[in-house]
Amino acid sequence: MKQVNHTVQSKNLTEPAPINHSASSSGTLLYRVIEGSVTTPQGFQAGGLHCGLKKATRNDIGAIVCDVPAVAAAVYTTNSFQAAPLDVTRASLAEEGLLRAVIVNSGNANACTGKQGEADAYRMRSAFAEQLGVPAHHVAVASTGVIGQLLKMDCVEQGIAELPGNLQSGANGAEQFSQAILTTDLVKKEVCTVVRVNGLDVHIGGSAKGSGMIHPNMATMLGFVTTDAEIDGRALERLLKQVTDATFNMITVDGDTSTNDMLVAMASGAAGNEQLDEQHPDWNAFAAAFQHVCEHLAKSIARDGEGATKLIEVRVTGATSEDDARAIAKTVVGSSLVKSAVFGADANWGRVIAAVGYSGIKVNPETVDIDLGAIAVLRQSTPVLFDEDAALVYLKGDTVVFTIDLHMGDGEATAWGCDLTYDYVRINAAYRT
């Protein structure tokens, strides 16, 4: 992950069963989206402050803290060069699968920093644990920022000493935390859902950062999901992996997979429901609400891609399998030529069909349909005359959807990305300076 000093501003922009997003058989909604973030679920506080890792006086260290040991799970980047905080978090979760807190800094990735970087990450863990009076292995660590620079540990330790006094359970705590994890992001990313479990309200909140170096496998970003549900730890881990594959692993900004990033989920159990797992009668509703949180955060990252002006959504249907549909969707949304055409509001569907063809997935070259929004541009691999002016108007909107029907099977998937603009080059040509 990278840091650019600029002002945050608004921007338009056993395996679990398959998750059902529709209403239940009785017609009632499975969950509701409400205003909130990681502090909305019962039992959580958060906060952030400026400790001096960034030149600008923006928050650069933050934390989420649970009142009790929370059932926890995490997924991590697949980059071969993994930053020290990932190893520390793995070690923490390996002890009991429980967390009381996660401590996060921005402005410095603590990646490719050798033995000293590893020692610094463990020092972050132990220092915050000491402040909270909890075992060291109940603290996770995350970092994001410039690669290859040692942390200014005097600044970090001063920030850690001050953080407990900045923790709050309300919206301001979530706001300060969200600001603390941003790097090149222009907007914060947060969301909350509420779902009924055993007749009780269960909340799921999320906060994430990510704008550049986004090509997840796992997700190249930092993401944090909290819930007050009582849930089996192994079921949470399975759900997190399943949902990650359908959300964070389906976004791309620039094709670069980061060294640092991870998604951490924590469950306080404060809602008082009977323990959730895949056999619980309300599991499907909880899983759908959990997936909504992750999908919202993932799409927010894609929409806030460095220099981006548009969100691109690619829907693939009719594939021979879900895996094939995912591979094609990610290939199309990651195409530099497709991204450039969207930026220029050019209805050049030829770039879309070319990306389908080089995706590595076998397709029937005579049965492909492509729609640009509601405008048909290709039917059975044959061009369709369409209104260029209408296409231009559509492409000038802030969301562009390509629908690709392969007519080969039942596999389907959706991927998200953004356009490729002049500003992306400007931001990344000078992010260290």
Catalytic residue among 77, 89, 113, 220: 220
**What 3-state class would DSSP assign to 111?**
coil
CA distance 189 to 209: 6
> Taking the mean position of all CA atoms in its chain, how far away is CA 250?
10
**Per-residue exposure over 45-76, b if at least 16 CB sit within 10 Å of its own CB, e if not:** bbbbbbbebbeeebbbbbbbbbeebbbbbbbb
Cis-peptide, bond into residue 218, ω within 30° of zero = yes
Residue 426, Cα to own-chain centre: how many angstroms? 24
SS3 72: strand
Chain centroid to CA 30: 22
Whether 220 sits among the annotated catalytic residues: the reply is yes
Residue 139: alpha-carbon gap to chain centroid: 21
With beta carbons less than 8 A apart as the criterion, state whether 279 and 178 touch.
no
355 close to 331: Cβ distance less than 8 angstroms: yes
Residue-wise DSSP of 232-261: -HHHHHHHHHHHHHHTGGGB-SSSPPPSS-
Q: What is the amino acid identity at position 27?
A: G
Q: What SS3 state is found at 144?
A: strand
Work out the angle at residue 185's Cα, subtended by the Cα atoms of residues 179 and 186, and round it to the nearest 5 degrees: 90
- H or E element in which residue 94 lies: helix 84-96
What span, in angstroms and rounded, lies between the C-alpha atoms of 139 and 412? Answer: 38
Return the amino acid letter for 127.
A
Give the catalytic positions in this structure. 220
